[in-house]
């Protein structure tokens, strides 16, 4: 099970020095933090970093007690980056260690999420001894299965 959105918000608040034992969040502050979390995750989605977070269609469509669906490798990145985004709203300076942790954690999940594009050749070069004089490439493979969603598939 993943963190709930409430747990992410509270952990980010604790990161900037507004821990729950010393500072009680008002419902408006939780709502603001939730919207900051939703906007940060929407930005990450547009950057190609899709972590499974349920980004709402509109700002009022998010519930703070919903599960975040984040993998455990992304928790630290989300918490520390949310703390960086929320700290100026409370007039807080973020510790340098929090900044370093936020950058390192985000780079880690970016590296895990990035996959190099597959290299596709127009045709596969033929190996030694399998070359014809006219065409040194193997023919492109053909797909023998020809059926769409509105057609039937016949088995022989």
Note whether residue 82 is domain-resident.
Answer: yes
CATH number reported for the structural domain that contains residue 104 in this entry: 1.10.3230.20
> What average pLDDT does this structure show over 123-145?
61
Note whether residue 124 is domain-resident.
Answer: no
Q: What is the pLDDT of residue 18?
A: 80
pLDDT-derived band of residue 20, with 50, 70 and 90 as boundaries?
Answer: low
Region label for 113, one of left (φ > 0), alpha (ψ between -120 and 50) or beta (otherwise): alpha
How many angstroms separate the CA atoms of 26 and 40, rounded? 21
- The answer on pLDDT for 147 being more than 70 is no
Query: Total structural domains in the chain?
Result: 1
> What average pLDDT does this structure show over 46-64?
86
Q: What is the pLDDT of residue 136?
A: 61
Note whether residue 47 is domain-resident.
Answer: yes
How many angstroms separate the CA atoms of 49 and 16, rounded? 25
Q: How many angstroms separate the Cα of 94 from the Cα of each of 15, 19, 98, 128?
A: 8, 14, 7, 62
pLDDT-derived band of residue 58, with 50, 70 and 90 as boundaries?
Answer: confident
| Average pLDDT for the chain | 81
How many angstroms separate the CA atoms of 124 and 138, rounded? 6
pTM of the entire predicted model: 0.70
Note whether residue 30 is domain-resident.
Answer: yes
Comparing 125 with 140, which gets the higher pLDDT? 140
Structural domain including 56 reads 5-113
pLDDT-derived band of residue 144, with 50, 70 and 90 as boundaries?
Answer: low
Range 37-41 contact pairs with CB under 8 angstroms and sequence separation of 24 or more: 37/5, 37/8, 37/9, 37/12, 37/78, 37/82, 38/62, 40/78, 40/81, 40/82, 40/85, 41/78
- The answer on pLDDT for 145 being more than 80 is no
Quick: pLDDT tens for 72-131. 889 999 999 999 999 998 888 888 999 999 999 999 988 887 766 666 666 555 565 555
- The answer on pLDDT for 135 being more than 80 is no
Note whether residue 142 is domain-resident.
Answer: no
> What average pLDDT does this structure show over 18-39?
81
Q: What is the pLDDT of residue 128?
A: 57
Q: How many angstroms separate the Cα of 44 from the Cα of each of 63, 84, 113?
A: 19, 15, 12
Note whether residue 140 is domain-resident.
Answer: no
* Residue whose tokens read 């502050």: 29
Other beta carbons within 10 Å of 66: 14
């Amino acid at each position: 099970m993943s963190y709930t959105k409430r747990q992410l918000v509270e952990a980010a608040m604790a990161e900037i020095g507004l821990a729950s034992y010393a500072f009680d969040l008002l419902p408006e502050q939780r709502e603001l933090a939730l919207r900051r979390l939703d906007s940060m995750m929407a930005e990450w989605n547009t950057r190609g970093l899709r972590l499974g977070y349920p980004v709402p269609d509109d700002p009022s469509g998010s519930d703070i007690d919903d599960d975040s669906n984040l993998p455990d490798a992304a928790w630290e990145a989300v918490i520390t980056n949310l703390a960086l985004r929320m700290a100026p709203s409370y007039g807080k300076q973020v510790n340098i260690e929090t900044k370093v942790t936020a950058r390192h954690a985000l780079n880690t999940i970016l590296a895990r999420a990035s996959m190099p594009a597959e290299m596709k050749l127009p045709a596969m070069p033929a190996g030694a001894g399998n070359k014809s004089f006219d065409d040194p490439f193997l023919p492109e493979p053909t797909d023998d299965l020809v059926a769409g969603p509105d057609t039937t598939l016949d088995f022989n």
